[in-house]
Amino acid sequence: MNKRVHRGHFARKRFGQNFLNDHFIIDSIVSAIHPKPGEAIMEIGPGLGALTEVVGSFVDRMMVIELDRNLVTRLANHAVLQDKLTIYQQDAMVVNFANIAQQVRQPLRVFGNLPYNISTQLLFHLFIYTHAILDMHFMLQKEVVDRLVAKPDSKVYGRLSVMAQYYCNIIPLLQVAPTSFTPSPKVNSTVVRLVPHRVIQNPVGDVRMLTRITTKTFNQRRKTIRNSLGDLFTSVQLLEFGIDPSLRAENVSVAQYCKLANCLSDSFSHTNREFLR
Ligand code: SAM
């Protein structure tokens, strides 16, 4: 059989379709999620239902977001699941998760074996809605999970680490080999739990400032902070925040980035308005 065919479906590369085929892994993920009736369970990318069928056996209702029309048709006609599912045939990247949480009157429990081609952008999109999310369980490339949990002074510490740790407590749960999927991806995978902080440790007044500062510094990783942020902060200001101006983006902690973002919000000048655009 063509190795891209699974359960009679031809896996589409452009939708990042790598279907789980390993029952031990599927059961481990579902027991980590621990779904209960009455919860607002939402799966991103249910595909052929490998996780959906098992989660569905614990709950009366669940929501799924699936972009592939063929898979939506299969799910809508699924013998066991069809009466339990609310299907959003949509791109998860444009879903307003806060609106859905408001409609179901409770925070969402989101999970999924995410399409790897959009997983990082999708995480950034989900962070916007962490106030409406109870927890998230995702299968991701191992390399992405390494970046999510990376601490300063590490080569993989970046904008994703700062934004993820600003919003969430992150717990890697399980390593998964390529052979657990059909077709097999070229990378190793990790299942991770992200729990949005109920109280943000270093709240920033305007998260757009944090986004822009981290984009600016990490886009110029090799430059010192004095240079990459030279148009926004003097070396004296950086020193006042306890940041050595000769450090690079990867040496600055989440708390220090938050201080810088708040300083910009406070001294919100015309220049900084331009900076936000
Ligand atoms: N959950 C299934 C499993 O574990 O076997 C499928 C996982 S597969 C890695 C990713 C799934 O996400 C596919 O079903 C794919 O069609 C869907 N998908 C891809 N891009 C999407 C998007 N932008 N929004 C929603 N679903 C998407």
Average pLDDT over residues 16-32: 97
Confidence class for position 20, pLDDT limits 50, 70, 90: very high
Q: Is 91 in the pocket of ligand 1 (CB under 6 A)?
A: yes
Q: Is 54 in the pocket of ligand 1 (CB under 6 A)?
A: no
Instruction: Tell me the percentage of the chain whose pLDDT exceeds 70.
Output: 95
* pLDDT tens-digit map of 166-221: 999 999 999 999 999 999 999 999 999 999 999 999 999 999 999 999 999 999 99
Test site for ligand 1: of 12, 43, 51, 68, most ligand atoms within 8 A of the Cβ: 68
Q: Is 124 in the pocket of ligand 1 (CB under 6 A)?
A: no
pLDDT of residue 6: 80
pLDDT of residue 63: 98
* pLDDT tens-digit map of 28-39: 999 999 999 999
What pTM was estimated for this model as a whole?
0.94
Test site for ligand 1: of 7, 53, 66, most ligand atoms within 8 A of the Cβ: 66
- The domain segmentation of the chain, as residue ranges, is 5-196, 207-276
* Residue carrying structure tokens 């390993």: 22
CATH topology of domain 5-196: Rossmann fold (3.40.50)
Amino acid, res. 77? N
Strand partners, 191: 139, 174
Q: Check residue 184 and report its DSSP letter.
A: P
pLDDT of residue 276: 54
Q: Which atom of ligand 1 is nearest to the CA of 95?
A: 24
Q: Is 240 in the pocket of ligand 1 (CB under 6 A)?
A: no
Q: What mean pLDDT value characterizes the chain? A: 94
Q: Ligand 1 atom 23: the closest Cα is on which residue?
A: 91
Distances (CA, A) of 96 to 88, 102, 107, 126: 11, 10, 13, 9
Q: Is 49 in the pocket of ligand 1 (CB under 6 A)?
A: no
Q: Rounded to an integer, what distance in angstroms lies between the CA atom of residue 257 and that of residue 114?
A: 29
Q: Ligand 1 atom 14: the closest Cα is on which residue?
A: 47
**CB–CB of 242/257 below 8 Å?**
no
Where does 5-141 have alpha helices with state H?
23-33, 50-56, 69-76, 97-104, 119-127
pLDDT of residue 271: 53
Q: Rounded to an integer, what distance in angstroms lies between the CA atom of residue 72 and that of residue 128?
A: 26
The strand pair at 19-20 and 181-182 is best described as antiparallel
Average pLDDT over residues 135-151: 98
* Least confident piece of the model among 13-17, 227-231, 266-270: 266-270
- Assigned superfamily of 207-276: rRNA adenine dimethylase, C-terminal domain (1.10.8.100)
